[in-house]
Amino acid sequence: MSQLTHAPWQTNLTTGDIVAFAFPAEIDGPDAGNSRPALVLSVVENAGELYVDLAFGTRQQRSRRLGLGVTVSDRNELNAASLRTATIFDAERRITVSIRNSRFDINRKTGTAVLGRLTGQSLSQLGRVNERLAGRPERKSRPNFRRRKDPRPVQVEYRRRGRPTAREIRYV
């Protein structure tokens, strides 16, 4: 494992744990920087440092079908996860951070950022979400340009030792 020293909660972090984490705010406002429950999707060691994939937790019910979501709504599951109301963890909105990230909200009484753990039906949903994520290709960035509908001619010149050797026209 890592040579760096970690708090016990950091070394014992596993898939299915729910932690308090302050996600970066997309829009500045009164809730910017507030911590919220986040679901640990996976724990990975890279170059001697531990990283976690966290899924964003929200209470708002989405009207669209949530293929990469884990819903916690059963009363027993809510108690095990230390959640007050039904929560959806959206793996489409995920972030990978070091376990040393300062945005983890550590409880002063318990000395940990871990709130609870998934159980029952929500834990099996997490297994299906992780299977889908494993089968997906990495997120691709969008290309910076698109091919034109009406290609235009461009003259390409080949040089050798600074002198032109050939010319051709390409349509781009």
Q: What is the tens place of the pLDDT at every residue in 104-140?
A: 888 888 888 888 899 888 888 888 888 888 876 665 5
Angstrom distances, CA of residue 39 to CA of 46, 53, 126, 169:
20, 8, 9, 55
Confidence class for position 66, pLDDT limits 50, 70, 90: low
CA angle 60/55/34 to nearest 5° reads: 65
Q: Is the pTM of this model over 0.95?
A: no
Q: What average pLDDT does range 95-106 have in this prediction? A: 87
Q: Give the pLDDT confidence score for residue 67 in this predicted structure.
A: 74
| Domain that includes residue 76, residue range | 8-135
* 161 in a structural domain: no
* 141 in a structural domain: no
Q: Considering its fold, how many domains does the chain have in total?
A: 1
Q: What average pLDDT does range 81-88 have in this prediction? A: 88
Q: What is the tens place of the pLDDT at every residue in 36-46?
A: 899 999 898 88
* 29 in a structural domain: yes
